[in-house]
A and B are shown apart, each in its own frame.
Chain A
Amino acid sequence: MPETNSVQAPTPTLEVPFESWGRYPTYPARMIPLNWQTDFPAALAGLHNGALPVGMGRSYGDVCLLKGGNLLLTTGMDRLLHFDTETGILTAEAGVTLAQILDFAVPRGFFLPVTPGTKYVTLGGAIANDIHGKNHHVAGTFGAHVTEFELVRSDGSRRICSPTENLDFYAATIGGLGLTGVITWAKLRMKPIVSRGIDYEGIQFHGIDEFLDLTRQSEHIEYTVSWIDCASTGKNFARGVFMQGDHSKVPAELKPSPEPKLVFPFDAPGFALNHATVSLFNTAFFHKQLKPRVVALQDYEPFFYPLDKVLHWNRMYGKNGLLQFQYAIPWESAREGTIAILQEVAKSGLASFLAVLKAFGDVPSPGMMSFPQPGITLALDFPIKADKSFPLFERLADMTRDFGGKLYPAKDAAMTAAQYQTFYPQWEQFARYRDPMLTSSFWERVTGDRPTL
């Protein structure tokens, strides 16, 4: 049936399972598309059990899920409303993806101020999770570059939020996990580039101390991140590759990106990922870089989005899905805590393919509930093995707490309410800004709050 210019409100559809990127948990919910800035809250008339705005579903756990509720799909709100080539400020609807923004901006000589490891996230999702990138040490979080946005509440009120207007809602919404209202549009400060290229350097390191030395030496480099081998013990313990880069300053053609071609076609069988295969992968990754130091001019796509080339790479983890675990531990205990947690992971025998290590800088986020804080962050992902994964996660979360750190809600499906409330003691203050109609399975899990719709 062809698309029509009909007048009906968006049609609520049957309950369908909506998967987060970790594919765990999955809950049925009613999908309600928000295609226009005026669709919310009218689209919710007569519905019950709460609602949650969602975009591309690239969060790993249950921050983008609402069991038995209504998911407000924002990806139809993907319009670019204005671009000021003088200031680099892009005004766009919240459902536009970072991929769409790059397709538009790169040929015009502009780049995202902050980008995560995938470009398939929406602008609204990037604000709601206050995402960070490889330049956190110089640029802070995504929210720091969002100069203004409109927030619509379920009572129909609309607010322009910025550092000078409705600052309280601005602070609560950046990192507010979509719970404060629906963001309809936002202004993002883009940055000029002259080339798609990244002046890349990869350096092998052996152990956390070498990582910390490299981090100090690279403070002036815009992008830094490390892959770390968390399967090896003994003399290879905490070896890794430190990767850094700056936008090339040599002007070059700013072509649009090609469409991704590879699609991971099926759910890998459960036995595909075990300690042996992951150890092999990690050893291969370490030695893929044959020399201790490699310098190259690299396109920004593989530098920032190595996995986006393979759509649905999460299927590699099989039907059970994967869990991420990401902590931020402050500098006072960052070294000690990272070593202890890596030892605990190695001891568990549970495999992590992609362990990513990075130092967070001290650029403050405007967000009240933002995750990054100065110190070390480590992200690990594990295929889900019911009997082993969750006990390990609980131990790791407790260790994180004891080292004064916290976990990242966008990557979590396992932390307890008590752990969350210790990590984010300001949660009760934040809860005052929550829209009474909006909630998530995550929020219900970590606070016990029920939807009031």
Chain B
Amino acid sequence: MSTSPATSSSLQTAGHSGPKKILVLGATSGIAEATCRIWAKQGARLFLVARNADKLAAVAADLKTRGASYVDTAAVDLDDTAQHPALLAHAVNSLTGMDVAYLAHGVLGDQPRAEQEFAHAAQILHTNFVAPVSLLTWLSNYCVQRHAGVLAVISSVAGDRGRKSNYLYGSSKAGLSAFLGGLRNRVDREGVTVLTIKPGPVRTAMTSAMKGSEKFADVNKVAQSIAAAIDKRKDTLYVPFQWQPILFVIRNIPERVFKKLNL
């Protein structure tokens, strides 16, 4: 997709120069951590949010060591939407502003279980859809007020078409992608960029031992693409890029054929 011509390619549009100020939600996920290492090397200011305090401390120490000029953290369960406004206000205050908000949290969930137990299905939808909507409501209003900012959100290629093997996860991401499209339509004219990131399978530390994982995308390359897409203020990023034509084909398979496929 094309970059938005109305906005500068520089992130320093908020009337300041100096290190990027980046809020990362779900900072202990493999993709987020790899992306943060790129920003740390550039001397960014980072505010990291994740659920587990021990993991968060290790990630924060790593990013500080690698060159981040400032790292602050909050160990928060992002499922608790009631906490979002206070958390986000605190984060922006700690960073002394915000150029980028990077939403990387989510759960894969257990599809067979979600088919039997609505509570589990609702949990997946809550974590992957409801909680991001809550965060982005606050964040988009913050950015609109300042006429600046990038909201970069990890959705998934799985949201492009529901498949029997993971349609709960997929539909939560489909909802998120649709929300991001609408949000972009609303805030673009206000100088705010919304980036929808659609990764395919990624080889991270967590999936490195999975069968066939050698064919997955390298997490550091995925992170480089994401950091570059944020700098270029892109709208949508399929990563690796080959997924864009693949998903074009998958989206266009007629339903009468698609429903017979084992995907």
Q: Which A residues contact B (CB, under 8 angstroms)? A: 1-7, 10-11, 13-14, 16, 31-33, 35-38, 73, 75-83, 93, 104
Residues of A within 8 A of B149 (CB): none
Contact present for B154 and A13 (CB under 8 Å): no
Contact present for A2 and B209 (CB under 8 Å): no
Contact present for B201 and A5 (CB under 8 Å): no
Contact present for A5 and B58 (CB under 8 Å): no
Contact present for A2 and B55 (CB under 8 Å): no
Residues of B within 8 A of A31 (CB): 208-209
- Chain B stretch 139-166: residues in CB contact (< 8 A) with chain A: 154, 156, 158, 166
> Closest residue of chain B to A82, judged by CB?
B65
A-B contact count (CB 8 A): 99
| A interface, over-half SS | loop
- Chain B stretch 216-243: residues in CB contact (< 8 A) with chain A: 219
A11 to B51, CA, bound (A): 19
Known: A7-B51, A36-B58, A81-B58. Contact between A1 and B209, CB under 8 A? no
Contact present for A3 and B206 (CB under 8 Å): yes
Kindly state whether residue B89 has any CB partner on chain A within 8 Å.
Answer: no
User: Looking at the complex, which one of A5, A73, A82 makes contact with B208 (CB distance below 8 Å)?
Assistant: A73
B154 to chain A, nearest CB (A): 7
> Closest residue of chain A to B173, judged by CB?
A2
A79 to B18, CA, bound (A): 26
A258 to B219, CA, bound (A): 18
Residues of B within 8 A of A13 (CB): 209-211
A238 to B158, CA, bound (A): 62
User: Looking at the complex, which one of B66, B107, B200, B208 makes contact with A76 (CB distance below 8 Å)?
Assistant: B208
A10 to B206, CA, bound (A): 7
Residues of B within 8 A of A14 (CB): 211
Contact present for A81 and B108 (CB under 8 Å): no
> Closest residue of chain A to B32, judged by CB?
A5
Kindly state whether residue B205 has any CB partner on chain A within 8 Å.
Answer: yes
Contact present for B158 and A1 (CB under 8 Å): yes
Given contacts A13-B211, A33-B205, 6 further A-B contacts (CB under 8 A): A1-B166, A1-B207, A5-B32, A33-B208, A35-B206, A38-B55
Residues of B within 8 A of A7 (CB): 51, 107
Kindly state whether residue B106 has any CB partner on chain A within 8 Å.
Answer: yes
- Chain B stretch 39-72: residues in CB contact (< 8 A) with chain A: 50-51, 54-55, 58-59, 61-62, 65-66
Contact present for A79 and B154 (CB under 8 Å): no
